[in-house]
Structure 1
């Protein structure tokens, strides 16, 4: 019986083969903790970095459904790179929504013209998942602009990204939002400027090539034009990508597709596809994959604010993908639990997704709170 594999999903006008070939060639090579320069160059030359930017700024003008599709396709080959691209798109969505005309032109064209990569830097040691309590400070300068001081951890893309959206405290008090507070601001930080330091990468169990690490800001000067949001807009800006349907569930979809197809290939290599029991396991994996695909596609299909569907896709997708990876490992045998096995890498990546911000427990609270609102 012929068991077809699931093809990568991507918009027809974007050629991903160069990126996917580069990623496949580096599969399992996670010693450096980051993607190679060759992969980063491929993201630029194929147009992945400029995908959701409007054509007037030199982008490809894709919608957020297509952005999710590209993220899923990348995640099949390397979830770590898919996460970097997801966070890049999330940062672009905030610039598009909250930037001034001057900021949009300058920052979006930094991507389309100079291939610069964006990252977001919210998390800190001891800060809660909703980013209500952070210690990084932004102090207004008498001569204009702001001075940033503080340390961030779990910054994905550290040392890979060129520009960072940094969350910092701008004053005391402030109203609490779903994410962050109104006494916080989002600042565009350029990694080439004085006062910015990448302070090492973390040795993670999953997402090992995501360049997740620590950054330090010491006397970093952000000019007035580097302030993306200030005060009451900050909490809504943090959560803005979800309102569009952009979701980490897309990364989970790519992981789930790869786990499913790996299980099929294992069965083919071991002549197990004629076994009714093995086929039944594959049926279950296929039905779970279809469910993940459905929730991810529904995230951008919803009308209005898509936060609920986007967060639901993240929770359901990551947890289902993790379960699928464990099933595929059991089918493949004990070798699939070794550190270097592709299925073990996929399982660790899926587990990491459940913990990435907002972590799944917070996603559940945020969605439930929306349901309970009168």
Structure 2
């Protein structure tokens, strides 16, 4: 059986266009993550792991060379996210959301915003996060309470609170969704056209983190609460026009960036553990367990296929990206359940890696857009499956 991690690195390292080589070095980061496996008491990655992430080159992987990046493709990014998620899905989620934010800066930022924000990533190793969710806002983020009030100097004053912000207290820069109160049609397909997206600095006055949540899955993802108390955003901190906000929110999917890449990493590790447990428990002589392993392997192959397909078509890749998110996360859950059956009762203890992986897979199904909304976006607004 081929080494899947080596295969993913080969995919990630492949250069398809001229320019600087796209070769992030994952070795040190993966070594740190392996050494910290199961250490989730703090609800966030360690400073050592974050330093290793900053030093790996992964944060600047898709950034164009003119801004100091490696010029990698979004297929490269998905492969990198999978590689991290094989060892630590929480770090994979942090990297996914960082690149989702970076993609919005690349695709929708002004030249000044690109120079400022992308250089902060490539030169200073700063990490991005996105903060949309609020209690009662709904999955489509069409009823948020956080406000952005225009100032006489052209800037904005942001006030409100956000929950389920992954990377809270870890990220240096945040894309914050806030209600601008602009007139005109209100509703978009995801978010609203009377909302704006703002670049917010964690070091700025008025920004605060109110702790991280005690989650069942993605326990090291630093998912928590942030607040904005009259935070002053400059005139150049609003990303695109408010009328474009729904399109900007969905931009990563257009590129083929998919949370299915995280689920794939989880599924690969669960499959490896199933094989290991079957050999250790001398189950390979049983046709029942051999056939179960075959089913797990075939499902894993299907997940690899749909995640790879997310970046294959030309043009708008939203449908394959959202489809990959749904299929990969739900199939990863099934692979984890099968692996637990093979491993036996020990796999249901809190400390067992398969229990953690099963919770991580479940978390991916719930992360935005959650799977039911992905189905709605694909079938109602973006064509049919």
TM class by shorter-chain length?
A: over 0.9
Q: Name the counterpart of 2:332.
A: 321
The Cα shift of 1:371 comes to: 5.2
The Cα shift of 1:143 comes to: 2.6
Paired with 1:339 and 1:154, the residues of 2 have a C-alpha distance of 23
The Cα shift of 1:362 comes to: 0.3
Q: Name the counterpart of 2:4.
A: 6
Q: Name the counterpart of 1:292.
A: 303
Q: Name the counterpart of 2:16.
A: none
The Cα shift of 1:302 comes to: 1.5
Instruction: Note if 1:311 corresponds to 2:350.
Output: no
Paired with 1:357 and 1:335, the residues of 2 have a C-alpha distance of 32
Q: Name the counterpart of 1:106.
A: 116
The Cα shift of 1:350 comes to: 0.3
Q: Name the counterpart of 2:194.
A: 183
Counterpart among 142, 148, 155 of residue 145 in structure 1: 155
State the 4+ residue runs in structure 1 displaced beyond 4 angstroms: none
- Unpaired segments ≥5 residues, structure 1: none
SS of the residue 2:140 aligns to = coil
The Cα shift of 1:30 comes to: 0.3
Counterpart among 182, 188, 212 of residue 201 in structure 1: 212
Paired with 1:180 and 1:304, the residues of 2 have a C-alpha distance of 22
Instruction: Note if 1:370 corresponds to 2:381.
Output: yes
Paired with 2:383 and 2:95, the residues of 1 have a C-alpha distance of 33
Instruction: Note if 1:60 corresponds to 2:70.
Output: yes
| Worse-matched range after superposition: 273-282 or 245-254 | 273-282
Contact 1:185 1:228 (8 Å CA) reproduced: yes
Q: Name the counterpart of 1:256.
A: 267
The Cα shift of 1:232 comes to: 1.0
Contact 1:184 1:230 (8 Å CA) reproduced: no
Q: Name the counterpart of 2:103.
A: 93
Contact 2:158 2:232 (8 Å CA) reproduced: yes
* 1:122-271 correspondence to structure 2 within 5 Å: 122-171=132-181, 174-271=185-282
Contact 2:322 2:378 (8 Å CA) reproduced: yes
Contact 2:173 2:199 (8 Å CA) reproduced: yes
Contact 1:91 1:120 (8 Å CA) reproduced: yes
Instruction: Note if 1:281 corresponds to 2:312.
Output: no
SS of the residue 2:198 aligns to = strand
The Cα shift of 1:7 comes to: 2.9
Q: Name the counterpart of 1:18.
A: 28
Contact 1:6 1:261 (8 Å CA) reproduced: no
- Structure 1 length as normaliser, TM-score? 0.97
SS of the residue 1:103 aligns to = helix
Paired with 2:135 and 2:380, the residues of 1 have a C-alpha distance of 26
- Unpaired segments ≥5 residues, structure 2: 14-22
The Cα shift of 1:285 comes to: 0.7
The Cα shift of 1:44 comes to: 1.3
Work out the number of aligned pairs and report it. 371
The Cα shift of 1:16 comes to: 1.2
Contact 1:119 1:165 (8 Å CA) reproduced: yes
The Cα shift of 1:372 comes to: 5.2
